Homo-oligomer: A and B are copies of this chain.
Amino acid sequence: MLSPTEENYLKSIFKIAEKENKAVSTNSIANLMSTTPASVTDMIQKLSQKKYLQYTKYKGVTLTQSGNKVAIKIIRKARLWEVFLVNKLRFAWHQIHNIADELEHVSSDELISRLDAFLDYPKFDPHGNPVPNADGKFTIRNQMALADIPLNQKVTVLGVKENLPDFLRYLTDINIRIGVEIMVLQQVPYDKSMRILIDNKTEQVISRSTSQLLSVKLT
């Protein structure tokens, strides 16, 4: 059995490895987890010993198959709980992160498979991220960043690439949520901010960083 701490390390390493395509560095883990590099070194040595990851001193780590499996299961649990919190308990999407971070470590497999059924086998969580199925497979779909969409193209919001509460609250404030239709009206070359039309109703200027964090599909 793994401790919640060990599970969190594996989850974080998985998430970093997802983006970068190389061994995961001690520092990147320490940054993501808000801890010190020394603590990370201790823990990755332990997890390496237990065969959850492949570690070469000074060269970072990669997950083994067994480490990958654990990480994906934690992500599955977290995302299913997020669906529960939003769809059943009516939480807003910016309220659920910390709660799901605790719930994801509850250990019963039976619980997760029943929860999955209760929620009707959701394919995506409330932020638009895929829920891995019981075999660890993620649903893939075509999606682009709003930042890369040309003028006058209508798109539908699929999700967000970051789930910090402040960011999510901001999106809610300007009426952006999953499923909303957006059209890019103007691109400002200077800072790459955009003026967009939301739901055929409201015009809004959003920053480059916001448009990069919004996943959309062509309508």
Contacts and interface: CB of A to CB of B under 8 A. Distances in A.
Interface of A: 85, 88-91, 95, 98-99, 102-103, 105-108, 110-111, 114-115, 118
Q: Which A-B residue pairs are the 3 nearest by beta carbons? A: A89-B114, A102-B106, A99-B108
Contacts of A103: 103, 106
21 contacts: A85-B111, A88-B118, A89-B111, A89-B114, A89-B115, A89-B118, A90-B114, A91-B110, A91-B114, A95-B110, A98-B108, A99-B106, A99-B108, A99-B111, A102-B105, A102-B106, A102-B107, A102-B108, A103-B103, A103-B106, A106-B106
Contacts of A88: 118
A114 B98 CA distance: 16
A102 B108 CA distance: 9
A151 B129 CA distance: 62
Nearest to A111: B99
Nearest to A89: B114
Nearest to A115: B89
Given A85-B111, A90-B114, 4 more contacts: A88-B118, A99-B106, A99-B111, A106-B106
**Protomer copies:** 2
Give chain A's interface secondary structure class. Answer: helix
A7 to B, nearest CB: 13
A99 B99 CA distance: 17
Contacts of A85: 111
A110 B106 CA distance: 19
A107 to B, nearest CB: 6
Contacts of A108: 98-99, 102
Contacts of A90: 114
A217 to B, nearest CB: 32
Contacts of A95: 110
Contacts of A91: 110, 114
A149 to B, nearest CB: 36
A182 to B, nearest CB: 31
